Amino acid sequence: MIAVENLGLRIGQTQILSDVSLQIAPGEIFGLVGESGSGKSMTALSLMGLLPRGAVTTGTATLDGTDLLSLPEWRRQRLRGNDISMIFQEPMTALNPVQTIGAQVAETLLVHNRANRADALRQARTQLDRVGLSHIALDRYPHELSGGQRQRVCIAAAIALHPRLLIADEPTTALDVTTQAQILDLLKALVAEENMALLLITHDLAVVANMARRIAVMQSGRVVEQGPTAQVIHDQRHPYTRALFAASSHRPERAAQTGDAAILTVEDAHRHYPGPRRGFTRTDPIRAVNGVSFTLKRGESLGLVGESGCGKSTLTRAILGLDPLTSGSITLNGQPISPTMPRARRADMQVVFQDPYGSFNPRWRVDRILTEPFHLLDTPPPRDAAITEALKAVHLHPDDAHKYPHEFSGGQRQRIAIARALITRPKLLVLDEAVSALDVSVRARILDLLADLQRQFGLSYLFISHDLTVVRAITDRVLVMQAGQIVEAGATEQVFTAPQHSYTRQLLAAAPRLPDPIGAPHVA
């Protein structure tokens, strides 16, 4: 039994957590939901005793009667991996790339002196079998495994000593929907088998809604609402909970304005990479993009959906004219696209990337960042006026032009990225997972902004994403991509309500869905 009572946390002068109280019974899945900065990860780290230097805690957090917060470090070390373990969001960086997976699972047992080397490896095998990796040898390295398999390895290591509490911090956020569904099923089964408590931390309400018996909603270091999952979803007593639910299923208001003329045409596009070297020969080429054809009309918003490795990034780079095609053609306004095309042709098409942190040179100020695409124009418009206009278009203040990117939040940065894309007045915007890294409430506002800009400037969108909810909210038509090919294409609502291809059906079935708040008495 885990009991957290009035947990407070202060780092320096900043109060991170206040009055966090929650109980998790053995065999229970407890969902901790909140946006970034709400303190959900810090709550978990408090339990693990892995807080950053200078952190001061108040209150208690007991595991079967032992107060975790007051333990000296050496006693905590015995608990970690033994009674409490944790899995993280990014399974690639959570594993050591130069150690075999067998060694890493066995390590937990060795550290706690529960087995000798041979025994530990034998038990590692058993644990890996339990998490569904019976076909993977112990001497494999993390890079030889897929994202889902790596997360399974992390889980195997975490449960090797049968912990009483497993903390899963965004365990499926970095994974594809179908993999996410499998990992969640696995966690559910393990909780029942081991009778352990699972603290599931996520920003995704849909994930916890289907998993947790009880959930707590966190906002700025406080639990604003907690209770049985069904009740929280149904009642939504706290305004923040309501806002979170509303944002999760937010659909911006859009007016159909699809024209007849095609702006972007992709015809039988192929992009093959040389296969891996085997001795002096190479194996068959990898067909990352294998015969893709589609047209994007003026003013249309077209979604491109697919899981990682399906070739959508390769296709995107070819469309942006960054990489060449092996065969086939891409035309923008009837002009061919290629890495060697004249600069001016690129001005009609700009891109917004996923990562609001990696999208800007950290040493440049916003004004310089925004005007970089002016390089494409022979006679750029007056600089200051263009900067002000672009910042206003994305609802930022003109004074922000003199700041550095690190002075902005994730959502604001994504607005800057959109402003940069708009500055050459393009006709086509490629949105490459442009809202995937954002919190739901921020995401909702960015989607509104995109819908607004589309109307205002008559933009066409190519919206690339793995997130089906978002694609459904913002696109007119959708393409489903699998293994380098488009397996299904059609009007968005039609594809989502009556999918034709088995892969589309599989994707839709795997996507976690929010239950409708029946009655929803408090929703205005």
Partner 1 sequence: MNRLPATLLLGTLITAVFAVAALLSLVWTPHDTTALSISDRFLPWSSVHPLGTDQYGRDMVSMLMEGTRTSIAVALIAIGIGITLGVPLGLIAAAHRGSALDEVIMRGNDMVFAFPSLVIAILITAIYGPSATNAILAIGIFNIPVFARVARGGALPIWTLDYILAARTAGKSRARISAEHILPNIANLLIVQATIQFSLGILAEAGLSYVGLGAQPPVASLGKMLSEAQTLIYSNPGLAVLPGLSIVILVLGLNLMGDGLRDALDPRLRRART
End-to-end CA gap in the chain: 38
Binding segment (CB under 8 A) for partner 1, from list 4-12, 170-178, 249-257, 372-380: 372-380
Q: What value, to the nearest 5°, has the Cα angle with vertex 128 and ends 122 and 129?
A: 90
**Residue 248: how many other CB atoms lie within 10 Å:** 18
Q: Are strands 286-297 and 2-11 parallel, antiparallel or unpaired?
A: unpaired
> How many helices (DSSP H) and strands (DSSP E) are in the chain?
19, 22
Using CB under 8 A as the criterion, what x/- string covers residues 399-418 for binding partner 1? -----x-xx---------x-
- Binding segment for partner 1 among 2-10, 59-67, 178-186, 361-369 (CB under 8 A)? 361-369
Q: Decide: is 465 part of the binding site for partner 1 (CB under 8 A).
A: no
> Among 515, 448, 29, which Cα is nearest to 253's?
448
Environment class of residue 415 by beta-carbon count within 10 Å: exposed (0-12), middle (13-18) or buried (19+)? buried
Q: Which stretch binds partner 1 (CB under 8 A): 27-35, 85-93, 244-252, 345-353?
A: 345-353
Nearer to partner 1 among residue 374 and residue 496 (C-beta): 374
Smallest separation, CB 92 to partner 1 (Å): 15
Please pick, from the candidates 152, 298, 346, 477, the single residue that binds partner 1 as defined by CB under 8 A: 346
Contact with partner 1 (CB under 8 A) among 360, 408, 461, 463: 360
Confirm or reject binding of residue 361 to partner 1 (CB under 8 A).
yes
Binding residue (CB under 8 A) for partner 1 from 78, 117, 282, 375: 375
Exactly one of 202, 236, 248, 354 binds partner 1 (CB under 8 A); which one? 354
Please state the φ and ψ torsions of residue 291, each to the nearest 5 degrees. 80, 60
Cα 480 to Cα 477: distance, rounded to the nearest angstrom = 10
- Total residues binding partner 1 (CB under 8 A): 26
Contact residue for partner 1 among 147, 321, 411, 484 (CB under 8 A): 321
Pair type for strands 29-34 and 197-202: parallel
Contact region for partner 1 (CB under 8 A) — 20-28, 266-274, 320-328, 491-499?
320-328
CA pair distance 125, 128, nearest whole angstrom? 5
Q: How far is the CB of 480 from partner 1 (least distance, A)?
A: 25
The answer to whether residue 373 forms part of the interface with partner 1 (CB under 8 A) is yes
Residue 214 CB, nearest approach to partner 1 (Å): 39
Q: Which of residues 392 and 402 has its CB atom nearest to partner 1 in the complex?
A: 402
**484, 290 Cβ separation under 8 angstroms:** yes
Q: Is 351 in the site for partner 1 (CB under 8 A)?
A: yes
Please state at what angle helix 147-159 crosses helix 177-194, rounded to 10 degrees.
Answer: 10
Torsion on CA atoms 251, 317, 90, 189, rounded to nearest 10? 60
Q: At closest approach, how far in Å is the CB of 343 from partner 1?
A: 4
Q: Give the footprint of partner 1 on residues 109-138 (CB under 8 A).
A: none
User: Do residues 30 and 229 lie in contact, with contact meaning Cβ atoms separated by under 8 Å?
Assistant: no
Identify the DSSP state of 256: -
Identify whether the C-beta of residue 286 lies closer than 8 Å to the C-beta of residue 275.
Answer: yes
Q: Which is nearer to partner 1, 364 or 496 (CB)?
A: 364
What is the amino acid identity at position 24? I
Return residues touching partner 1 (CB under 8 A). 320-322, 343, 346, 349-351, 353-355, 358-363, 372-373, 375-376, 404, 406-407, 417, 420
